[in-house]
Structure 1
Amino acid sequence: MPLFKYWQANYPYFCHKVKSLKNYISNLRNIATFAVIVLHVTAPFVLKFNKISFASWQLANLLDSMLRFGVPVFVMISGAVLLDRNEPLNIFLRKRLKRIFLPFLFWSMVYFVFIYAGNFQKFSIAQLTQILADKLLKGTYYHLWYIYMILGVYLFVPIIRKWVQNSTKQELHYFLLLWAITLFINTDMAKYIPSIEVLYFSKYIGYLVLGHYLDKYVEAKPSRNNAYFMLFILGVALTFLSTSYLSVTANQLNITYYNYLSPNVCLMAIGIFLLGKNWLQKTNTALINLDRHSFGIYLAHVLVLHYVYRFTAQLKINTNSTAFLCLYIIGLALVTYLVSYLLIRILSAFKPLKSLVT
């Protein structure tokens, strides 16, 4: 089934009027999903600063630096898809509730059971209820922070889209410039920024507007690919070198420039998004199926990764060999990605679970 027809049949609110969901959006979502999984496999090695060889740590630092674009690109995709659409407020909220909130609740319960399964007998029903309520307020597992963030962003979409649709390019430039300045607050440059209240221009709303702007106003021109690639490389280099320098200088890990809301990560996210717009316009059934289950893959992958770690625990990992470590990280991520996809594909085959798992 062609991509547009699939989305039109299953998510008609994604296909407003005659504007179809572009293939590059679907492909970018797949890339961002895999990038996040590789990031989570790499993170434990980054945290072993001074505990593994410096060369191996630098490899982990490089991989982590290269993959920071994942979450920003997710939000940019939301901006590209949602802000140029017209739909009643109640329909938008109902669709978001079904698409995001229900799977979030389901997987929150899954991770709660996963954490406390062996300790239920230690708590009363009242205590477990209180623990669950507390966990749901902040997240039952670390990767679910993204759901809290994106739900907050979505609450602004009906308001932001009205402004975006009635704004000139110059007004969008003005917003994006102010937002770009706020990114420096999360770096060592913060001390040079005046204490003007910029809260309303900061955080992930900027990526939402940026995604809309790049999708609508920046043409896909192959002649610009080198420039977009250099944006990505510059962002990676700034992230890698800054993290390396600050960590080595202080003799302890410093991940200030891993922040998704930093100018260096923004540069690589812009580069990847525009390269995707130029290069990733073709698709096929396999890629469409991966995209169809990408949200479920994200929600499930941490649980799958836990058991992949257990299955591979007997492997002798030579962390001093950068080549072996690189192959190990990529291999583990690929297995986790594919197993997560198969798990979601199987679970979603059961109609009562389909709307809950993905």
Structure 2
Amino acid sequence: MTTIVTKRNYGLDILRVIACYMVIQAHAGEFYYIRTDGTVSNIVDAYWVGWYNPICIISVPLFVMISGIFLFPINDVPAFFKKRFSRVLIPFVFWCIFYALYLYLRGYDSLNTTLLHIINIPINFGAQVGHLWFVYMLLGIYLFAPILSPWIQTASRKSMEFYLALWAVSLTIPYIHLVIPEIWGETFWNHTPMLYYFSGFLGYVVLAVYIKRFHMEPRRWNYVAGIALIVVGYAITTYGFLYRLPTEKVVSKLVLTWSFETINIAMMTTGAFLMAKNIKIKNPDSAIMRLVSDISAKSYGIYLAHILVLNGVHSLLDNRIASAAVKIPVMGVCALIITFIIVKILSFLPKSKWLIG
């Protein structure tokens, strides 16, 4: 078995910070291609979203891959669950309640609706704040991780590549469905077709561990492959959005190529990961790297809180800047900085881990 690298990789800290910014910019773009009624807005600003956001969509898969790097081995299952669930679940519940109360205090929801949102948290995220879906997915990975751990530590390179090859095939299914609506056992009474068990975010976890075990050492081909994967993946993702934008009315159909479970998003994610892991920092104690490490350590809190800040930044800047070409990145940067400052302040409170992870 190949030895798993345990030395700190500062490139992954940098990648986590970049992913943190990406997810905020991706959400900033939503103001310019989704109308308030949930339909597609194909105004000029939406085309800027089509150019900017495709690369930002990889933020969530990158978070999953970075988490996957540090998940294994799992030797003490109760201790693993206690550590992971307390760090993730408790802040999540806090922010679900916070968003519900915020919408009530702003007059958007009635008291009854607010209470229903809070009661609904065990079923699905409380207030309709879409980014909180991520936490349920992450908790699902944590639940399965102890089952996966014995295999992923001892699996041969070929067996991991076999899994990843089938996972890659599953990533083409959204496009196959454009031609063939049901394949490999799909039907209305069967929701687990042939490659169901090789699909989803678990593939990003396996991919991360595969790279960690067999390709973590820097190689020149990492850059060549990384750039090629990003360029091709970006081209597919961008073309799919811009091609559909003039005529599509349904958001879910417009963003087909933005799905996390598509081959093009996996290509860009893999490319970014391959290059970032090779980053070497000569002085990890420098001021900039201390800041990067601090943002990286607080990335979960930033993720949970950023929508609140982003909405405020949008209200402040939207009418002051003419084009989304400028608005989207400026809003993203401002929201990241302000959210980090808020989370940093919260981190000084007693028991702050229950608030920001």
* Matched position secondary structure for 1:29: helix
Separation in 2, partners of 1:306, 1:251: 24
My pick for the range that moved more, 348-357 or 166-175, is: 348-357
Partners of 1:171 and 1:349 in 2: CA distance: 46
| Residue aligning to 1:6 | none
Per-residue displacement from partner, 1:207-259 (whole Å, max 9, x unpaired)? 11011111221132135313211111110100001222233465765111110
User: Structure 1 residues 19-28 or 166-175, which shifts more?
Assistant: 19-28
Deviations 1:149-185 (A, max 9, x none): 1001111111111111121001001111111111112
**Are residues 1:304 and 2:292 paired?**
no
Query: TM-score, normalized by length of structure 1?
Result: 0.85
More displaced, 107-116 or 222-231? Answer: 222-231
Please state if 1:132 is matched with 2:118. yes
Q: What is the match of residue 188 of structure 2?
A: none
Any residues of structure 2 matched to 1:78-157 within 5 Å, and which?
78-83=67-72, 85-118=73-106, 123=111, 129-139=115-125, 140=127, 141-157=129-145
What residue number does 2:174 align with?
A: 186
CA distance 1:59–1:161, shift in 2 (3 Å): same
User: Aligned match of 2:43 in 52, 55, 61?
Assistant: 52
Contact persistence 2:101–2:114 (CA under 8 A): no
- Which of the numbers 195, 201, 210 marks the counterpart of 1:213? 210
Q: Distance in 1 between matches of 2:300 and 2:95?
A: 11
Matches within 5 A, 1:218-237: 218=215, 219-237=217-235
Q: CA separation in 2, counterparts of 1:50 and 1:119? A: 26
Provide the alpha-carbon RMSD of the alignment: 2.4
How far did residue 260 of structure 1 move?
A: 0.6
Return closer, same or farther for 1:281/1:270 CA change in 2, 3 Å cut-off. farther
1:62 paired with 2:51, answer: yes
Residues 347 and 354 of structure 1 are in contact (CA less than 8 Å); yes or no, is this contact kept in structure 2? no
What fraction of aligned residue pairs are identical, expressed as a percent?
A: 27
Summarize deviations over 1:61-113 as a string: whole Å, max 9, x none: 01111211100111111111113x24300110000122111111111111111
What is the alpha-carbon distance in structure 2 between the residues aligned to residue 122 and residue 328 of structure 1?
Answer: 32
Amino acid at match of 1:347: L
Alignment-derived partner of residue 334 in structure 1: 333
| Count of residue pairs the alignment pairs up | 331
Q: Could you tell me which amino acid in structure 2 is paired with residue 216 of structure 1?
A: R
Contact 2:96–2:118 (CA under 8 A) maintained in structure 1: no
SS at match of 1:233: helix
Higher mean C-alpha deviation, range 136-145 or range 299-308: 136-145
Rate the CA distance shift 1:301–1:210 in 2: closer, same or farther, 3 A.
Answer: same
Change (3 A) 1:293 1:203: same
CA distance in 1, matches of 2:134, 2:250: 27
